[in-house]
Chains A and B, each alone.
Chain A
Amino acid sequence: MTGLQETSQASPHVQTPFDRFWREFAESRLALLGLAVLIIVMVIAIAAPLLAPQNPYDLAQLDVLDGKLAPGEQSMGGKTYLLGTDDQGRDMLSGIFYGLRISLSVGVMSTLFALGLGLVFGMLAAYFGGWVDTLIMRIVDIQLSFPSILIALILLAVFGQGVDKVIVALVAVQWAYYARTVRASALVERQKEYVEAATVLALSKPRIVFRHMLPNCLPPLIVVATVQVAHAISLEATLSFLGLGMPITEPSLGLLISNGFTYLMSGKYWISFYPGLALLITIMAINLVADQLRDVLNPRLKK
């Protein structure tokens, strides 16, 4: 499934593992759609300052008189805002572009840190076994028996607000999933013949673990990581919505929604509806890709 194993048993046709992977992935139109949307969302997030009609956080560009304009409504100055404006006359479309940037980077960053941490602990548990394994897996079990939102809330209630604190909380919530996944697949891989072969060749233990076992443990990990990015983004938005996540200086999608919630009752739906829609599209796109990845990377489902 991964580079190392695939190249050693390459089929007569010149077909790289990636080709095969891509062909299987592209079998689902829905997954391709998800991937396309995801790429667009990522481009928007990365190039937000170039694409956004205005810089929503440059006060000089804001006009309070343009506040709370409905989508498409023309302002006094003759400007039209595609998705309307918020209470301070901020263009919602630009706000969403910048918000995507913050939401995505927090989601991806926390996932990467959690992945690293989970990988280390999962490998340690599988490699050493015995009491190390029992201790680590007990902690994982206990943590996973509590809902992630509760753990994140506890941590943020203790730490207080801040970007770094949100990331720490998200990492603390997620690492256990990776640790469990890595340990499970490492235990399976350890029994396989190629590891035995490598051992017979008298390769060093770190080499066996990192060059031989680790690449084969990656597929399930990639699936978990994709799902978890969506989860992290949604959790961050929830925490920010509750006022416990990002500070006002870092307006993620969750904060935008929270800000618009006040105006929802008076029928000014767009201030919180469109950031919510952006959040939703992002999460759905990631989940579609993750679903197909799970099918493609799961050897049990191979025909």
Chain B
Amino acid sequence: MFNYFLRRFGQSFLVLIAMSCIVFLGVFAIGNPIDLLVNPQADEIERVRATAALGLDRPLYEQYFTFLKGAASGDLGRSFVFGVPALELILSKMPATIELALFAMVIAVAIGIPLGLVAGLRPDSLIGRSIMAFSIVGFSLPTFWVGLVLIMFFAVQLGWLPSNGRGETTLLFGVPVSFLSWDGLSHLLLPALNLALFKLSLLIRLTRAQVREAVLQDYVKFARAKGLSQGRVIGVHILKNIMIPIVTVIGLEFGSVIAFAIVTESIFAWPGTGKLLIDSINQLDRPVIVAYLMVIVALFIAINFIVDLVYSLLDPRVRLGQSSGGGH
């Protein structure tokens, strides 16, 4: 077990180094790094001074190590637009993104698993088929278009919910959150629903497939033969056994929810890291772009690492075979 942990940790570390290398090469080697790191309005003297100060006259590998050293101590440059350290800026926007992602995940789980359960228990009934049709549609719809339709319907036509911003925030353990006030919650609802739809469809499919497999197992037949109630068979015998893969997928998908939040945040003007990234790309605020990429890559690697670890604790077979989740 400890060996597995160590090997897995080594792998994560290597991926992080490889990613930092790609980001470094992308930003520093493609194009003139001085254009990226110094304010575009700077004059020639300022550029020369900055080149020397940033050590851009030194060989590439030396520069890379300087970059790594800075990154390791949390120094990823200063934002041109806001004039504050890029990392600090991103961390200040993080609570909004995490809240949106968590809320979306809660919606997806609360609706997706029950629907998947119904569709799995009655795969050929009208309701089972309708649920599957819904999940196929949810899979095909591009996230940004769903967001647009939600705004069109709920914000413009009906006027029920606001379509942009975060609304009122309340402090919870020193972190600003939206969901505790009605104003904040009403702002959170549409973007969270938008972000949840894809994962909702995924969870329906996954739960349905797992349930269909589980009902054929001997332990379920045995439980039925013992005369246990349908509710107990489903709640205790089936649900308990299908939870391992479902929890794993929920964990793995959390990273992708944060990535997809980029799109949702842009549509609903939700002040999180995703919107910050798009704004920074449009304003050529390169240090923020680099910092965002490093933070999100680190986050992804951490999530994958933790999920793998938890999974291997729950199911020792994983340690023998190799598996990995697909993107979409």
Contact = CB atoms under 8 A, between A and B. Distances in A.
Interface of A: 141-142, 144-150, 153-154, 157-159, 177, 230-231, 234, 237-238, 241-244, 257, 261, 264-265, 267, 269, 272-273, 276, 279-280, 283-284, 287, 291
A234 B148 contact: no
B249 to A, nearest CB: 13
B327 interface: yes
Given A242-B263, A276-B145, A287 B328 contact: no
B140 A144 contact: no
B26 interface: yes
Given A149-B263, A257-B148, A280 B328 contact: no
Interface stretch (B114-122, B201-209, B277-285): B277-285
A244 B282 CA distance: 8
Contacts of A149: 259-260, 262-263
A158 B27 contact: yes
A244 B281 contact: yes
Contact of A145 (B141, B149, B266, B304): B304
A148 B327 contact: yes
Closest 10 CB pairs of A and B: A158-B26, A150-B259, A147-B256, A147-B259, A234-B142, A276-B145, A141-B324, A241-B144, A148-B327, A157-B281
- Would you call the interface of chain A mostly helix, strand, loop, or mixed? helix
12 contacts: A145-B324, A146-B259, A147-B255, A150-B259, A154-B293, A157-B277, A237-B142, A238-B142, A243-B278, A257-B144, A261-B267, A267-B156
Nearest to B263: A238
Contacts of A283: 140-142
Contacts of A276: 145, 148-149
A272 B20 CA distance: 38
A147 B257 CA distance: 9
A177 B326 CA distance: 9
B325 A145 contact: yes
B324 A144 contact: yes
Contacts of A238: 142-144, 263
A77 B24 CA distance: 57
A231 B263 CA distance: 16
A147 to B, nearest CB: 4
A264 B148 contact: yes
Given A280-B141, A283-B142, A144 B327 contact: yes
Interface string B148-168: 110110011000000100000
